[in-house]
Structure formats: structure tokens, C-alpha cells
Structure 1
Amino acid sequence: MSQAPIELKGSNFTLSVVHLHHPEPEMVRKALQDKIDQAPAFLKNAPVVLNVSALESDVNWPQLQQAIASTGLYIVGVSGCKDDDLKRRIGQEGLPLLSEGKPQKKQNKAPAQEIKSIGVAPESAKTRLVNTPVRSGQQIYAKNSDLIVTSSVSAGAELIADGNIHIYGMMRGRALAGASGDRQCQIFCSNLSAELISIAGEYWIMDQIPADFFGKASRLCLQDGAMTIQKLF
């Protein structure tokens, strides 16, 4: 029997979500462009979801959408929309309305305990361990935890972690540690041949990796806000 021309399967993808807190298109455009300029290799032409839960119904949606698209970001959907009129206008622009899932129930805490931190993984978070090769086109994200890959990472593959990243095989893809902004994170590679290395938005592309460290066991971290590299062994 010949194979069917198409097949539908469920899958998971990691997408950046832009939470919009202001309705002014130019202000949003400038803020996004500043973020992209900080990490162009990570954000340039990236697919994103827009969360509009903080916007009022009278927002000029076509202008806002155009301002965001002018930065080069690809809007693949909109989440958090509760206003029926805004939903209608978003639909007229051809964008799907997405659900980010049910929020977790908040535990009751005393006010003094309600401390929010950005980029610091909870101590109880488990490390994500990957024992298989990471192929080209694959993306692995370790949310609020470190990421350990015991095998090789092919060119075109991407590792993202809110914590540290450890790669024990050949590293040819992209590794982005401290994705939530934790500048204390580090990257450890047994064989560094990466397309891109990034920590909290600071990054090197392949040509910027010092020749003495290329293909060698290396450790990368931030010192005084700049990417630095050391021999691992």
C-alpha cells in the first residue's frame, strides 16, 4: 500500500512569547528592536507569539501588528485575548488565537515570601538530561534548569536552557544558556565547534570563537558583561 500524501502528528515547539504591556505601536517597536539588537542571532527573524492579556480593547491592532512585524519577527499567533472585539480584529488580520494552557494554581503565601526573581532557576528544579544525539533542526529547552547532553549536537540543532549547559559530545549546533537572563550561567563543552554560543543574550558566532579553543574542551562564562572562554581541562 502506498504511503498517504500527508500525516498529522502532535509535536512540541518552543516559541518566544512577547507580552505586550503598552498599546503604542512605536514604543513597542523600539523596545523590541532594542531586544533584537542585544541578541540578533537568537531573535532575528524569530517566530513569536504575542500575549495581549494586558491590552485594552481600543488598541489599534493593525498598526501594532505592523510595528512588530517591521522588526523582522514572525508573528505566528496571539494568546491571552479576552475581549471579543479584539479577537475579531485579530482574526481579520489572519492570525490564529492560541491558548497557553491552564495557569498553575498559586499557593497562598505571606506577602514577605512573594519574591519574584528573573533568570534564577528554583533549587528544586531537576536537570534535564539528554542521552541521544541532537539532530539538525531539533530544539531542546530546559526550563528553569540546567541541560546536560551526553551525546553529540549536530549543526542546525539548538540547545536552550534557563540554567547552565553541559555538552559531553561534539558540539556543532547552537547553545543558549541563561535564556531567562541569568548572567551567572555557564556553558561547558568537551569539543567546542559551535555555530553560536550565547549566555543571557551575549553571544559569539563560530568565527568569534578563538582558534586555540575551537574543537577543544572549553568553558564559557560572562566576566564584566563580556563572553570569556577558558580551557576545561
Structure 2
Amino acid sequence: MSQLPIDLKGSSFTLPVLHLHHTDPSAVRQALQEKVSRAPDFLNNAAVIVDVTVLTREVNWHQMQKAILSTGLFIVGISGCQDAQLKNIIIRSGLPVLNAGQMHTAIKHNMTPAGLSSKTRIIFSPVRSGQQVYAENSDLVIINSISEGAEVLADGNIHIYGMMRGRALAGANGDENCQIFCTNLCAELISIAGHYWIMDQIPSEFIGLASRLYLQDGVLTIKKLN
């Protein structure tokens, strides 16, 4: 047992990033409320990073922060801040401003020297509601079904040989080359390197079919598996 009252250790978490493209807090609040209502299990009380790349000191940050918090999201950090005055305002509001370059470097240091490990994590049992399975620095293979309310994550690709009703997040460390393969797609949410679709965004003609999902020019793309 440690003799110190605390330990400070590094770790990694997968968090959604909210990219702000509008300076009007009311417009942002309305858009967020619509997204939360469409994916409540994923976004209710979710911790998020807010990307403010397009914002300047002209924005009313206090109103913007209030608008985001009013939707039930929790802001744990700010990224992409290019304006020194806005950065000071954000820091005074009690939020940390994250350095994207340092975050990317940390991710690379957490990976094996050759990128992802060649070892694949294989799960044979069903992944039930409330459970989470994470394959760090590797691909993930599920040879069973994933229930609604369950979540599977991998830094690499995800292969699901069964009914997929839960959430699948591939490329959790930001690798946009990762893909998701599924024999029966009925997912609550599909995400690759932070680019995601909730169920009603998945093209209806692919529901229940064997499908492959990947990013093409930064856009989530889906094709049928032959």
C-alpha cells in the first residue's frame, strides 16, 4: 500500500469533441438539445471537450458556456483556442485550455513503437447492457451479440460477428484509418476516430445487414459486406 495520500498517474479516455461553428449561444443550445434528444444514452450527462477553433474574443464565452451546460453536457476542457484574449477568458471561467499538439503526442507515446499491437482482443461471450469492452492498442473481435446499452471500443478496428445493437467506437485513439465490420447492423451509435452516427443517421437500407464502415476524406462511409 502506498504511503502517500494520493497517486497522480497518466491515463487515457475517449471523449466526444464538440466543434463550435456558430457564435450565437442560442443557436448552439438548440442544436445541442436536438442532438441530445436523438442520442440520450450517449449524450445525457456526457463529458465533452469543446473545440473553439473558429471563435474569437468577440464571442460571449460566459453565455456560450451556459448554453452548453444547460443541455446537460459537462465541459472538461477546451481545445483549438487561437485567440489569446479568449483563452484568458476561458481560463478565468475555470476551464483548462488543452494543447492539441501535446494531446496528439501523448496518444502516440501510449501506442506501441510499431503502431497498434499485432495482438487482437477476442470476446466470445455476449456484451450485455451496461457493459463496456475496450481493446487498447489493438483490434477487437466480438464473436457474439452486443446488446442495446452496451459499448465496445478499440484503438484499432472492430469486428462484430453477431447482432450489433449497442455502441461501437473504433479508432478510439484518433486513428482515422480504422474500420468497423458488422454482420448485423442495428447500432445505437457507430464512431470512427470521433466521427459518429447515431441510429437514425445510419442509412436505413443498411439496417440489419452485414456492413463495413470507414472514413473517406474525413466523412463516415458505409458499404455492404459481400
Q: TM-score, normalised by structure 1?
A: 0.57
Distance 2:19 2:74 in 1: 15
Alignment of 1:195-210 (within 5 A): 197-199=188-190, 200-202=197-199
1:70–1:26 distance in 2 versus 1, CA, 3 Å: same
Question: 150, 159, 164: which is aligned to 2:152?
Answer: 159
- The residue type paired with residue 120 of structure 2 is L
Unaligned runs of 5+ in 2: 105-115, 172-178, 191-196, 211-226
SS in 2 for 1:77: strand
Alignment correspondent of 1:175? 167
Q: TM-score, normalised by structure 2?
A: 0.59
Q: Per-residue deviation at 1:165?
A: 3.8
Question: Is residue 2:208 matched to residue 1:228?
Answer: yes
Alignment correspondent of 1:97? 97
Alignment of 1:70-219 (within 5 A): 70-101=70-101, 129-131=120-122, 139-140=134-135, 147-149=140-142, 158-160=151-153, 165-167=158-160, 174-176=166-168, 187-188=182-183, 197-199=188-190, 200-202=197-199
* Residues 119-161 of structure 1: per-residue CA shift (max 9 Å, x gap): xxxxxx999932479996664589xx97424699999973146
Distance 1:153 1:127 in 2: 24
Unaligned runs of 5+ in 1: 105-124, 190-195, 204-220
1:22–1:128 distance in 2 versus 1, CA, 3 Å: farther
Distance 1:151 1:12 in 2: 27
1:159–1:72 distance in 2 versus 1, CA, 3 Å: same
Q: Per-residue deviation at 1:45?
A: 1.4
Q: Percent of counterpart pairs with the same letter?
A: 45
1:197–1:60 distance in 2 versus 1, CA, 3 Å: closer
CA contact (8 A) 1:165 1:175 kept: no
Alignment correspondent of 1:212? none
Alignment: residue pair count: 181
CA contact (8 A) 1:161 1:177 kept: yes
Distance 1:26 1:50 in 2: 16
* Residues 81-129 of structure 1: per-residue CA shift (max 9 Å, x gap): 121211111111100111222699xxxxxxxxxxxxxxxxxxxx99993
Q: Per-residue deviation at 1:198?
A: 3.3
Alignment correspondent of 2:174? none
Distance 2:117 2:14 in 1: 19
1:163–1:2 distance in 2 versus 1, CA, 3 Å: closer
CA contact (8 A) 2:76 2:96 kept: yes
* Residues 42-87 of structure 1: per-residue CA shift (max 9 Å, x gap): 1221110111111121100000000011111110010111212111
The structure with more helix, counted as a fraction of residues: 2
